[in-house]
Structure 1
Amino acid sequence: MTIDNTRHILYTLSENSSIELYDLGTDGKSTSRIISLSHSNLEYQVSKLLRTIEVAQMTLLSSIKIIEETESTHIHLMAVSKTGFRLYFSTGAVYSSNTRPYTLHLVHIRLPPGYNRVIGESKPSSVEHVLYNRGTVIMACGTNITNYRPLLWCITPDEYAFSLNFSEKYFVTDLDMCPLSMDNIGPNLLIYNDPSLPQPPLVVRQQFENRQEYITITPQGLEIFEMIRPYDTLCELFAISQGTETDAIKNYFKNMPNNQACVACLTIICDQSLKNQKIKEYATRAFFTHGGEPKLVTENLNDSFHDLTRVSKNQNTSYRSGHFTTSMPSLVSSQPNTSFINNQTNTSFMNVQPNTSFINNQPNITNLQSISVHYSFKHNALYLYVSRLLRPLWNIKAVNMETTDGKTYIVNTVSPDDCLFVASHLQTLHTFMNNYYKMLANYTRIPLDSSRRTTVQDAHQSESKSINCLKQLVVQSAEVFNLWKLLSEHQFYIIANKLSEQEHRVLENVTFKELILVHQEICQSLVQKLLDTYLNESSSVDSISTKLRQVCPSIYHSEDAACAKASEMIKLAQSTINEDERKQILYQSLKVLKEVAPKINLTSVCLQYTNCAYMEGVYQMCTECANKIDPKNLGGHYFVNNMVLDRDGPGYGAYMLRLDIYKEISSSLDYLYSIMVKNPSLNIPTRPNLIPGILENTALTPEQSSNLIAELIKLCISCDDEIMHTVVYRWMIDKKLIRETIEMGHHSLEKFLLAQSQSDDNNNYIKDVLCRYYEYNGNYNEAAEVLASLSKRPESGLTLSDRLMYLGRAMACLRSKKLSTPALNATSLREVEDLLQVAEIQKMILDLFLSSQVDGKAEIIEKLNNSLFTLGELYSNFAEPHRLWEAQLAILQLSNHDDRELVNQIWENILLKVVEDCGDIGEHNKMTIALEKIKSLASSHPINSSTFDLEYVTTMLEYLNCNLGGDLESVYTTMLTIGAPIESLVAIYKKIYSTNDPRWQKTSELHVLEVIMSLARYYLQNVDLWPSGMQRRSIAVNLFDLLVICQNMLYSRFAHSPLIEGVIAIKTELDIIIKN
């Protein structure tokens, strides 16, 4: 009885050679009988597969053995007959592990030794006990007619796993007594191996396993047999031959695939448990003697295509309808291999019926050739050996997540011993490759024949490059496993938990393959966290740094060691109270870091120095890195010569490298600024104060940060590198530190601001800073020029108010008493004045639109803000179409346009619109509002200017006053208030009264006469306003004459009007003034 625990199947074998199969269910907790294979049925199946041998010899069964799922998915059971025949069965559950068994079908027979046409070859018989272990069969045979003593047969295919023909090797050993039972011990695995996964042949995994041991139990006691591994065979041959030129060694390389034989040599060479150096020397000599040479081969693509087609047909493997098919070529009736040991046999597969499938519609490919390199056997053996070393760990995850007491930890999947085993073998191989580098590169085998030399050299160069790549993989792999061992010895889960969240996610899913080939940065981060653990515990990093340099020098460089030492010193400085000692320690750390610059983590270094308030260190490290990366200062030359836009120049790369390094200065300033702004009242001082030592675990205060910013800025500006200056200027301007930037007063600031304004013409902020710089330094001409250009730039994001402000500042600059060359800019002053006046009119138009409701208002406002317009554009595009009368008047005045009729019409429209806008308020109030409008406009339009006709405006006002019933004195008093001479008013009223305008007859015929009388009374009451006697008499005479005209009119038309007495009384008073 035997149980297959991988498939949950139970088999039984009865004395009459019948086999029964029981299904234990998918979970192994149930039992159901599926099939019973009787002896007669077995004979029938055997006879169908093999007709040349007596069936009875094969069907008397001695034992049944399980073939687990990890070994084969197709064959499930092996039965061994009394004569050593091995019968292989399938239960039908081939394609899925979830398919339960439903049959027991013979698919394959292997003949024991003695049936392969070799005369005199012994055969097993009377098999009593069988032991099976991954392809190897141990049979204990009792005594009979042919066997005078018990024998132990061992048949194994391990050594010939990669032979083209299926071959097995067998050994026969005499026993004192037939054993009662047999079992295997081990094997003792030397490295992690997942038993649930399919395992490769022993020849692949032999370096990871000790020799397999088998034990037999007899009445006399125990016997233990040791099964040699495939490469042990070659080892013994070397020991027997004491050299490499014997027939046994030559036969070994002849009968084994050359790649596999060379791999066996490498396995011996790198076997650390083998102490016999002579054997290793023989293996090395044989490796190079039989390793072959690379060569260029011309292949016909048409043949290759048909070969590929044939392989595609043969690779369809199936177990249906009782037929076992395989892709292995030449397996039917194959001939036995000749071996250096006579006990090697070639076992044939019987009655194989291939399941073929044809590829139709093949293209007709002819006369196509390609040249490829056929690498040497030793090259292929190196790759095979490395792949076998890395195979167990290559695709497994580097870490697993484990939960303990509710907490999840990251733990290693591979033990430190396993890591050490792989790494040490890889290092041994690397030493071998280094010692025999020239022989591996075939430098000594270049032919003298010049016709062949080029072809051979090409092949050798290709192989040499490939071997160099393999060496790199070997080194990287060994270092990763060495590092993993070291991390495992330092509480790996604590180190891993210090990684960033993103690194944590990568580590959780990364395999060793990805660690070696892709994610070197994870290894470097883990190294850094390991060092941080030492630093946080205030431990010296010298020992761990030395160890890291030994085990993984390409991951942990000498620069890393220097950085670790410097970090330790900075950590010590933070806890040092004495200021002189602290500065000395920091200075020493700076010297260490300068030696390895620029191969350092500059970001980390600058942050540490910033936290330690050592701005000199930040500045010095950035300068040192920049000078070492660009020793000839090509970047500085490139920048100084204004070639920043020429990206094809030789110095552009150096310039960008310097700029990238100096970003760390910005980062340090950002860090300090974020602390400083916690106290908004602080400003950056012009001169930094002394900074006391920063004690351990003591954060920087806002005051300290402010001083540190000033110190670092001062250091940077004091150097000659203008690229560094630009980084500082850009940072300060971004932080709105305009005053501090300008007050530094360095000449490079002007160049920076000019370059920035030219490269980004839309950056108004930079242009504004440039103006302030010019103003601060007294360069008013330049400041005015920039301000004027700013105001005129269209669609620059400025509002009209901004443009007016810039023009106003430009005017102020040009009128400054400090102006160095005022005569030179007289024209500019006039231009700016004109611009400002036009802009003020544009602002007036904008305000009018803002307070009005018109169609397309938003678009008009946007246009007025986006650019400055000329007077003509303002008039034709805005003022005239939208009837903006006041704006029209202002435009006419500024342009000195002399068109009395147009101006008078505009005044009339203004007055009419004012009255119209008053709505339903009282008539008297309307007149008051109209007069106020006249007063406001008179401030911009002087009396009797081209845009203010006093006679016309006064006439219009009196007519309006008459219609609205306003006060008699309201018009002339308003005119007097805005500066109209009384003499002019008297003349105007005289002209109005004398013209006999019909408008007055329609309203109030005596209105003008009453206004004249009121004007005369106003004069008599305020005669002191005209101190000059001559002027008084002149006004009095004019009024007297006007009243005479009025009196005559009254006598002629209104003889009984009471106004006559009033006129006479006023004349009497005027006469007194005239006579005095």
Structure 2
Amino acid sequence: MLTLRESLRRYQQISQHTDLALVCSQYRQVRFYEGVLELCLTAADKKDPQRLGPHFYKNGEPEEDRVGQQAFQERLLCYKCITDTMQELVNQSKAAPQSPSVPKQPGPPVMTSDPNMLSNEEATAHFEQMLGLAQRSQDELFHIALYNWLIQADLTDKLLEVNSPYLEEHLMHMIKQDQSKVHNMDLLWRYYEKNRNFGKAAHVLARLADMHSTDISLKQRLEYIARAILSAKSSSSISAHASDGEFLHELEEKMELVRIQVQIQETLIKQYSHHPSVKNVISQLDSELMDITKLYGEFADHFKLSECKLAIIHCAGHADPILVHSLWQEILEKELGDSVAMSPADRMRSLNLKLVSLGKIYAGTPRYFPLEFLVKFLEQEVCRLNWDVGFVTSTMLEIGVQLPRLLEVYDQLFKTRDPCWQRLKKPLHLVECIHVLLSGYVDDPSRVPTYDRRRFTNVCLDNICGYLVELQSLSPNATLQHIIGNFKSLQAKLEKLH
């Protein structure tokens, strides 16, 4: 090794006049990789002793600075010998293992491949050694050439392992220059995250999500925001700045809005993908994040996307009862319209799934889940379509509506005596629903919390007395007598619950 070191020392003295490519090739053959690195870095300094190349780069590479440009190019050629060597090691680390060729004549197998060829493991080890040594260099321009090569060689994981003060600065410089902006910003947040600088990572991720670009899909924007929230939370657990809390709140609000934009895009793809003009609209939703007004006016309202409109007014906290009712009606009518060719059982299942999925979102905020309106609308459809009497009550309980609240709604509807039930030729439909609801309670009293059970049982008994008075005042027929009998039996069971 002394002789190699000695040769390196001598070459370094005259490195500005040395044929670098030739010497580096000889050093590679004897696996003297540190020699390649040291010789090329010395040559770069000797060819540009006044450091005109770095000055040219720092000044933004002005075209009129011919001398600076010449020095800059000279340096890049020196660095290229290093990165070419590293590329060769990368190629060898991925090469298929050598195998003997098919023999043309009898005798021992002949190896046709290069005996100097490194094994995959050796090549990887030499590459890691070179990368480690390269990081010790104080030559900033070499670091930049190395980073650019790592990016171009698709070795970004290795780039992010680099522990250097120059990397952050270089990535920010590239972003300012608008060079592969999305890719470099993607590297920058990963660099910050790797170095546990979560606050900076969150801000870069938020900028990426907001960037107007066709290179970022809406799904990626959603991922960026989700990742930004995670980073911001990690950051605020380390620092306790009020601004961190505000930023996190902004991100969470934005996340809600991005989800609505995704919902709009998915709905358009599902419903209008056969319309050529909608393809542009779908791409438009990919290219940037929209504000709430634009999402409502230009997309949800324009394409009559009622579910998306409901999501937007919920997000905005805008609760106009007339609008909420009409949106729910549109949602339910569309669902019933889409399932018209199905069997009654499948239609009920389809509507149940839709109601439960939306109910889980909105039932907690009654302004956006108008229970009285929904029950009345749905029960009229049940009468019209001759569906199961317990369909609506079981669906509402599945959503999580409390049984006492549900009874209150049905009781109120019954007492209102709306003529619509007569028109539908189902004047006793609501009391039948109430019977189904209360039978469920008698069979399983745990549907009502223990502390409220006695009060609720009394309410049920009081209500039943009222229903019986009402029912017994009507002209008797077999159906009516059957309903009266059912309520009397229910009354007896409820009294036993006391």
Which residue in the other structure is 2:486 paired with? 1062
Task: Tell whether 2:89 aligns with 1:667.
Answer: no
Which residue in the other structure is 2:108 paired with? none
Which residue in the other structure is 1:982 paired with? 403
Q: Structure 2: which amino acid aligns with 1:755?
A: H
Specify whether residues 820 and 654 from structure 1 end up closer, same or farther in structure 2 by C-alpha distance, changes over 3 A only: farther
Task: Tell whether 2:365 aligns with 1:948.
Answer: no
- Distance in 1 between residues matched to 2:496 and 2:34, nearest whole Å: 96
Specify whether residues 679 and 807 from structure 1 end up closer, same or farther in structure 2 by C-alpha distance, changes over 3 A only: farther
- Distance in 2 between residues matched to 1:992 and 1:643, nearest whole Å: 78
Contact 1:635 1:658 in 2 (8 A): yes
Contact 1:968 1:1010 in 2 (8 A): yes
Identify which of 151, 157, 164 aligns with 1:746: 164
Which residue in the other structure is 1:852 paired with? 271
Which residue in the other structure is 1:710 paired with? 128
- Distance in 1 between residues matched to 2:122 and 2:364, nearest whole Å: 66
Give the C-alpha shift of residue 697 in structure 1: 4.8
Give the C-alpha shift of residue 645 in structure 1: 4.2
Task: Tell whether 2:114 aligns with 1:701.
Answer: no
Secondary structure, aligned partner of 2:366: coil
Which residue in the other structure is 2:21 paired with? 603
Give the C-alpha shift of residue 806 in structure 1: 0.8
Contact 1:897 1:946 in 2 (8 A): no
Which residue in the other structure is 1:836 paired with? 255
Deviations 1:92-126 (A, max 9, x none): xxxxxxxxxxxxxxxxxxxxxxxxxxxxxxxxxxx
- Distance in 1 between residues matched to 2:447 and 2:412, nearest whole Å: 25
State, as a whole percentage, how many aligned pairs show the same letter.
28
Which residue in the other structure is 2:104 paired with? none
Which residue in the other structure is 2:441 paired with? 1019
Contact 1:611 1:700 in 2 (8 A): no
Specify whether residues 921 and 1060 from structure 1 end up closer, same or farther in structure 2 by C-alpha distance, changes over 3 A only: same
Q: How does 1:257-336 map to 2 (within 5 A)?
A: none
Contact 1:713 1:728 in 2 (8 A): no
Which residue in the other structure is 2:338 paired with? 917
Which residue in the other structure is 1:122 paired with? none
Which residue in the other structure is 1:764 paired with? 182
- Distance in 2 between residues matched to 1:668 and 1:697, nearest whole Å: 18
Identify which of 333, 345, 357 aligns with 1:936: 357
Q: Structure 2: which amino acid aligns with 1:665?
A: I
Which residue in the other structure is 2:95 paired with? 678
Task: Tell whether 2:415 aligns with 1:994.
Answer: yes
- Distance in 1 between residues matched to 2:486 and 2:324, nearest whole Å: 38
Higher-helix-fraction structure: 2
Contact 2:198 2:232 in 1 (8 A): yes
Q: How does 1:72-111 map to 2 (within 5 A)?
A: none
Q: Structure 1: which amino acid aligns with 2:428?
A: L
- Distance in 2 between residues matched to 1:912 and 1:753, nearest whole Å: 54
Identify which of 32, 40, 45 aligns with 1:622: 40
Which runs of at least 4 in structure 1 moved beyond 6 Å after TM superposition? none
Give the C-alpha shift of residue 871 in structure 1: 1.4
Identify which of 383, 389, 393 aligns with 1:962: 383
Q: How does 1:398-797 map to 2 (within 5 A)?
A: 583-639=1-57, 642-648=58-64, 651-678=68-95, 697-760=115-178, 762-797=180-215
Deviations 1:529-551 (A, max 9, x none): xxxxxxxxxxxxxxxxxxxxxxx
- Distance in 2 between residues matched to 1:734 and 1:948, nearest whole Å: 54
Specify whether residues 596 and 1061 from structure 1 end up closer, same or farther in structure 2 by C-alpha distance, changes over 3 A only: closer
Contact 1:774 1:783 in 2 (8 A): yes
Which residue in the other structure is 1:487 paired with? none
Contact 1:602 1:664 in 2 (8 A): yes
Give the C-alpha shift of residue 701 in structure 1: 2.5
Deviations 1:39-75 (A, max 9, x none): xxxxxxxxxxxxxxxxxxxxxxxxxxxxxxxxxxxxx
Which residue in the other structure is 1:1034 paired with? 455
Contact 1:678 1:702 in 2 (8 A): yes
- Distance in 1 between residues matched to 2:315 and 2:210, nearest whole Å: 19
Q: TM-score, normalised on structure 2?
A: 0.90
Specify whether residues 1041 and 697 from structure 1 end up closer, same or farther in structure 2 by C-alpha distance, changes over 3 A only: closer
Deviations 1:313-370 (A, max 9, x none): xxxxxxxxxxxxxxxxxxxxxxxxxxxxxxxxxxxxxxxxxxxxxxxxxxxxxxxxxx
Higher-strand-fraction structure: 1
Specify whether residues 731 and 619 from structure 1 end up closer, same or farther in structure 2 by C-alpha distance, changes over 3 A only: same
Specify whether residues 624 and 987 from structure 1 end up closer, same or farther in structure 2 by C-alpha distance, changes over 3 A only: same
Q: Structure 2: which amino acid aligns with 1:968?
A: V
Specify whether residues 679 and 750 from structure 1 end up closer, same or farther in structure 2 by C-alpha distance, changes over 3 A only: farther
Q: Structure 1: which amino acid aligns with 2:190?
A: R
Deviations 1:788-837 (A, max 9, x none): 10111112401111111111110000111653344331111111111111
Give the C-alpha shift of residue 997 in structure 1: 1.6
Contact 1:1013 1:1043 in 2 (8 A): no
Contact 2:147 2:159 in 1 (8 A): yes
- Distance in 1 between residues matched to 2:53 and 2:162, nearest whole Å: 24
- Distance in 2 between residues matched to 1:936 and 1:842, nearest whole Å: 18
Give the C-alpha shift of residue 926 in structure 1: 1.4
Identify which of 295, 300, 316 aligns with 1:874: 295
Give the C-alpha shift of residue 625 in structure 1: 1.7
Q: Structure 2: which amino acid aligns with 1:771?
A: W
Instruction: Give the number of the structure with larger relative contact order, counting CA–CA contacts within 8 Å between residues 6 or more apart.
Output: 2
Contact 2:56 2:68 in 1 (8 A): yes
- Distance in 1 between residues matched to 2:239 and 2:155, nearest whole Å: 28
Q: Structure 2: which amino acid aligns with 1:734?
A: Q
Q: Structure 1: which amino acid aligns with 2:420?
A: R
Which residue in the other structure is 2:429 paired with? 1007
Contact 1:673 1:706 in 2 (8 A): yes
- Distance in 2 between residues matched to 1:826 and 1:647, nearest whole Å: 46
Contact 2:214 2:286 in 1 (8 A): no
Deviations 1:1008-1043 (A, max 9, x none): 1111122221221112333525x2232223222332
